[in-house]
Amino acid sequence: MEPFKVYEIKQSVFANNDREADKVREELKARKTFLLNLMSSPGSGKTSTLKRTIAALKDEMRIGIMEADIDSDVDAEAISKTGVKVIQLHTGGMCHLDADMTRQGLNELGTEGLDLVVLENVGNLVCPAEFDTGAVKNAMILSVPEGHDKPLKYPLIFQVCDALIINKIDVLPYFDFDLEKVVEYAHMRNPKLKIFPISAKTGEGVDAWCDWLREQVGAWNN
Amino acid sequence: MEPFKVYEIKQSVFANNDREADKVREELKARKTFLLNLMSSPGSGKTSTLKRTIAALKDEMRIGIMEADIDSDVDAEAISKTGVKVIQLHTGGMCHLDADMTRQGLNELGTEGLDLVVLENVGNLVCPAEFDTGAVKNAMILSVPEGHDKPLKYPLIFQVCDALIINKIDVLPYFDFDLEKVVEYAHMRNPKLKIFPISAKTGEGVDAWCDWLREQVGAWNN
């Protein structure tokens, strides 16, 4: 038996996604569950950042993870080894999740008793940014090899996020990546964005990110 | 004056995109212009690979470049320095180009006398793969930092492409990237896929890629 459930998401039938998203948040608030929507390009390190985050927080809160992917189970497989509750959501080719699709995932995962649920969205900087999933906060990862010009090219995702993780800072010496510039460009899109340079590989900077997340979860659930 | 035109793409009105794509190809065939659709994640090195490709081929063929981006002009700016004809296409938030949008770009660029036009699609591994742009061939870039599991997670784009460029091989020592595995996974999706490991930074491997492209252009235009 697989150590996690695989669920095929159904297309939503709701015309007003923003209203459904608000309803999802109300349901989460009532159950004292915080939902984080984590977005990024393919390969920027969502799953490895999650593994670090789980290791740092799992002794102080009950965590559930929803891995959204078009087709494979490799991410849920990786997360299941951390011992937290995890479900693999298959989007069947769809490039994003909306609020009702997120609700389907929450129902299949079962949020009873969970303090924090993280939705690892489909790897894509464009479409996921357009749909409110019902998450309490949105975070995104930009990795050093992707380049510091991304806030110029993909404006919306930087606007809708509360936190930006800059991952793979361990390889900064090998890339023409200007950390000051990316902070400047990102704040140009969204002055309130919290920015956390980290290396999911070495663990550097992960504490500051987890402090922020811990604070958000505490504020929502209490 | 900007050294390139910026064009705001309009949403297509055609229900049957595959038919429009075939029409675009017929028009290109009649004008002896080869169109390459180049796709990848954000930050995998489409623009720097294009710069290398232009440098290698511009003395033997007339090249035009269409830079599709949601918002910025940074790519057209970079390409305009190579001296080839270039246009910046703004998709206004849209995550892909279809055949009619590609035709709008071709008309604005002006293909008269061009042997090769490259469409640099929006950075996205999901949506662009779903729409035939009317290109003669599709190519994609996967860069080493993105990881070798991507053919498992984003199957369609590997299926619709004729060529796969594995970029940033100069940083292979710093990443857990298995070149043999990515070839195996990619060929599992598409046994006919031509694979070219390159470094757009150092120029390594670019010749083999350009040989393939030269051959495709020659076969189409003669």
Confidence class of residue B2 from pLDDT cuts 50, 70 and 90? low
| pLDDT tens per residue across span B73-113 | 889 999 999 999 999 999 888 889 999 999 999 999 999 99
Nearest Cα residue to A58 out of A85, A78, A76: A85
Q: How far is Cα B7 from Cα A2, in angstroms, rounded to an integer? A: 50
Confidence class of residue B14 from pLDDT cuts 50, 70 and 90? confident
B77: Cβ contacts below 8 Å, ≥ 6 apart: B4
The pLDDT assigned to B13 comes to: 78
Residue B108, both tokens = 């604005």
Q: Is A137 at the interface with chain B, CB within 8 A?
A: no
Tell how many helices (H) and how many strands (E) occur in chain A. 8, 8
The pLDDT assigned to A131 comes to: 95
CB B152 within 8 A of CB A71: yes
Q: Identify the residue whose tokens are 């081929």.
A: B57
Given an 8 Å threshold on Cβ–Cβ distance, is A42 in contact with B152? no
Share of chain B above pLDDT 70, in %: 99
Share of chain B above pLDDT 90, in %: 88
Given an 8 Å threshold on Cβ–Cβ distance, is A146 in contact with B69? no
The pLDDT assigned to B193 comes to: 98
Domain boundaries along the sequence of chain B: 5-221
| pLDDT tens per residue across span B38-58 | 999 999 999 999 999 999 999
Residue B15 φ/ψ region, left for φ over 0, alpha for ψ in the -120 to 50 degree band, beta for the rest: alpha
Three-state DSSP string of B178-214: CHHHHHHHHHHHCCCCEEEECCCCCCCCHHHHHHHHH
Partnered with residue A139 across adjacent β-strands are A38, A163
Residue B80, both tokens = 């305009």
Q: How far is Cα A148 from Cα A142, in angstroms, rounded to an integer? A: 9
Q: How far is Cα A82 from Cα A121, in angstroms, rounded to an integer? A: 19
Chain centroid to CA A78: 16
| DSSP assignment string, B103-148 | HHHHHHH--TT-SEEEEE--S-SSGGGGS--S-SEEEEEEEGGG-T
Residue B183, both tokens = 């070839």
Mean pLDDT within B31-39: 98
Instruction: Report, as ranges of residue numbers, the positions in chain A whose pLDDT lies below 70.
Output: 1-2
Q: Is A151 at the interface with chain B, CB within 8 A?
A: no
Given an 8 Å threshold on Cβ–Cβ distance, is B127 in contact with A130? no
Nearest Cα residue to A41 out of A150, A136, A131, A176: A150
Give the torsion through C-alpha atoms of B129, B130, B133, B139, to 10 deg. Answer: 20
> Is residue B1 pLDDT above 70, yes or no?
no
Q: Is A143 at the interface with chain B, CB within 8 A?
A: yes
Q: Which fold has domain B5-221?
A: Rossmann fold (3.40.50)
Given an 8 Å threshold on Cβ–Cβ distance, is B150 in contact with A43? yes
ipTM of the complex: 0.88
Chain A residues inside the 8 Å CB shell of B122: 126
CB A38 within 8 A of CB A140: yes
Q: Is B71 at the interface with chain A, CB within 8 A?
A: yes
| pLDDT tens per residue across span B122-151 | 999 999 999 999 999 999 999 999 999 999
* A146, A181, A188: best to mutate for the B interface, most B CBs within 10 A: A146
Chain A residues inside the 8 Å CB shell of B70: 126, 153-156
What residue in A sits closest to B95 (Cα-Cα)? A126
Give the torsion through C-alpha atoms of B169, B132, A45, A7, to 10 deg. Answer: -140
Q: Identify the residue whose tokens are 């894509």.
A: A124
CA-CA-CA-CA torsion sign (B97, B99, B101, B102): positive
The pLDDT assigned to A190 comes to: 98
The nearest CA of chain A is from the CA of B23 a distance in Å of 26
What residue in B sits closest to A171 (Cα-Cα)? B174
Q: How far is CA B184 from CA A123, A126, A127, B83, B158, in A?
A: 22, 29, 29, 38, 12
Q: Is A130 at the interface with chain B, CB within 8 A?
A: yes
